[in-house]
C-alpha cells in the first residue's frame, strides 16, 4: 500500500534529520584529538608490566598476583586506546594547517550522497 503525500513528506523529513544528526555525531567523534607519546609509552609500559605480573602469578601459583597483572594490562590497553584528555594532543596543534581527515572525508561523502547538487 503506497504512502500518502503527507506520510511521504514526514518520512523524508525524518530521514533528512537522521542523516544530519548522524553527520554531526561523526564529526564529534573525529574531533577528539590523538594520543600523545606519553600516553602511548605509559600504555606499553603498563601492558608489559601486566604481562610480567600475570606470568609471575601463574608461576608462583598466586591468583591475586595474576589478577593484578590482568588489571594492569587492562588499564594499559585503556590508556592506549582511549587516553584521558590530559594525555591527548589537540588536533589543530598537532596537524599544523587544517587538512581533511578520514572522518571529515566520510562526513563530506555522506552529505554529498544526500545532496548531490552541492
If asked whether residues 42 and 81 sit together in one domain, one would say: yes
For residue range 7-30, list pLDDT tens digits in order: 888 888 888 887 777 766 666 655
Domain assignment present for residue 58? The answer is yes
Instruction: Specify the pLDDT at position 102.
Output: 78
Handedness of CA 108, 110, 113, 116 (dihedral sign): negative
Range of 17's domain? 1-33+101-118
If asked whether residues 65 and 83 sit together in one domain, one would say: yes
Domain assignment present for residue 109? The answer is yes
Instruction: Specify the pLDDT at position 17.
Output: 81
* Model confidence, pTM: 0.47
Taking alpha carbons only, the member of 20, 70, 64 closest to residue 49 is 70
Amino acid at each position: 500500500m503506497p504512502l500518502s503525500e503527507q506520510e511521504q513528506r514526514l518520512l523524508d523529513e525524518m530521514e533528512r534529520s537522521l542523516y544530519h544528526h548522524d553527520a554531526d555525531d561523526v564529526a564529534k567523534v573525529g574531533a577528539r584529538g590523538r594520543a600523545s607519546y606519553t600516553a602511548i609509552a605509559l600504555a606499553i609500559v603498563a601492558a608489559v608490566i601486566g604481562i610480567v605480573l600475570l606470568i609471575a602469578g601463574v608461576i608462583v601459583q598466586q591468583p591475586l598476583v595474576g589478577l593484578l597483572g590482568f588489571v594492569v594490562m587492562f588499564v594499559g590497553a585503556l590508556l592506549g586506546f582511549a587516553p584521558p584528555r590530559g594525555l591527548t594532543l589537540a588536533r589543530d596543534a598537532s596537524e599544523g594547517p587544517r587538512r581533511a581527515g578520514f572522518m571529515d572525508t566520510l562526513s563530506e561523502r555522506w552529505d554529498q550522497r544526500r545532496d548531490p547538487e552541492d
